Amino acid sequence: MKAAPTDQRRLVDIAELDRRLGGLAHRRESLPEQAALDQLVAERRAAVESAARARIHVEDLDRAIAKLRSDLDAVRRRRQNDAGLVAGGGLSDRQATELEYELRSLARREESLEDELAELTERHEAVDADVRHSGAVITDLDARIGMAATVRDTALADLEDAVTETTAERAREAEGLPTELLEFYSRCAEEAGVGAAILGGGRCSACAMDLSRSAVAAFRSAPQDDVLTCPECGVIVVRTDNS
C-alpha cells in the first residue's frame, strides 16, 4: 500500500487520540466517583436490612411483653382472689392450707414474671434504640448519596465533554485521509490494539521491540510512500528522521 508520508504521520496522531479515547472509556467504566456512590448505596442497603431486622425484633418483643403482662395480670387476680378467701375465713384446715400453698406459689410466679418482664422491657428499649439509630444512619446516608450522585454526574459530564472534544479532534485529523489507508489502520488497531506507531532508532514504539538489522535496513531503503508494518506486532510503523 502507498500513502504520502504526511498522511502516514497523521495516523500516529490518530493513534494517540484513539489511545486517549480508550483511556476515557476505561475511566468511565472504573469511575472512582461511581465506586464511591456504589459503596454508599451498599451501606444504605445494609442499614435498611439492619433496621428491618431490628423492627421485627421489636415486634416480637412487643408480643412477648404483652403476653407476659397478661399472664402477670392473671396471676395477680388469682392471688388477690385467694387472699380474699383466706381473709374471709370459714375455710376448713385443708382448704386454708391449700390456699396458703397456692398463694406462695403465685407469689413466686408473680416475682418470676416481673423479673422476666423487666428483662424484656430492657431489651425492648435497647432494640428500639437500634431502630432509631438505623433510621438516623439511613437519613445521613441518603444525604451523602445525594451529594455523591451529584459528584458522579459532574464527573460523567466532564468525561462526556472530553470524549466529544477528542472524537471531534480525531475526525478533523482523519479528514481527507485515503479511505483505504484508514481501513488498513482500523484493521491493525483491531488486531494489535494500536493502529500506528513511530519507528525510532530501529525500535517499534508500539511493542517496544528492537527490530533486526535486516528489517531496519529494509525499512530505511523502502520508498517513503510505502506503508510498512512491524514484523513483531503488525502495527503500521511510521518512519522519521530517527528511524
pTM (2 d.p.):
0.70
- We report the CATH number of the domain holding residue 141 as 1.10.287.1700
Are 156 and 202 members of one domain?
A: no
Q: What is the pLDDT of residue 178?
A: 95
Q: Summarize pLDDT for 106-162 with one digit per residue, the tens.
A: 999 999 999 999 999 999 999 999 999 999 999 999 999 999 999 999 999 999 999
Are 63 and 140 members of one domain?
A: yes
Name the phi and psi angles at 199, rounded to 5. -100, 110
Are 18 and 65 members of one domain?
A: no
Q: What is the pLDDT of residue 170?
A: 96
For residue 43, give the H/E element and its range.
helix 32-88
Are 139 and 203 members of one domain?
A: no
- How far CA 228 is from CA of 127, 189, 194, 202, in Å, comes to 75, 14, 14, 13
Are 193 and 159 members of one domain?
A: no
Are 192 and 209 members of one domain?
A: yes
Are 83 and 154 members of one domain?
A: yes
How many CA within 13 A on the CB side of residue 52? 6
Q: What is the pLDDT of residue 86?
A: 83
One-letter amino acid for residue 86 of the chain: V
Show the low-confidence residues of the chain (pLDDT under 50): none
Q: Say whether 211 sits in a helix, a strand or coil.
A: coil
Q: What is the pLDDT of residue 220?
A: 85
Are 207 and 226 members of one domain?
A: yes
Tell me the residue range of the domain where 213 lies.
Answer: 5-25+178-239
Q: Where does a domain end: 132, 148, 170?
A: 170
Number of domains in the chain: 2
Are 79 and 194 members of one domain?
A: no
Are 80 and 61 members of one domain?
A: yes
Are 13 and 35 members of one domain?
A: no
One-letter amino acid for residue 15 of the chain: A
Are 158 and 202 members of one domain?
A: no
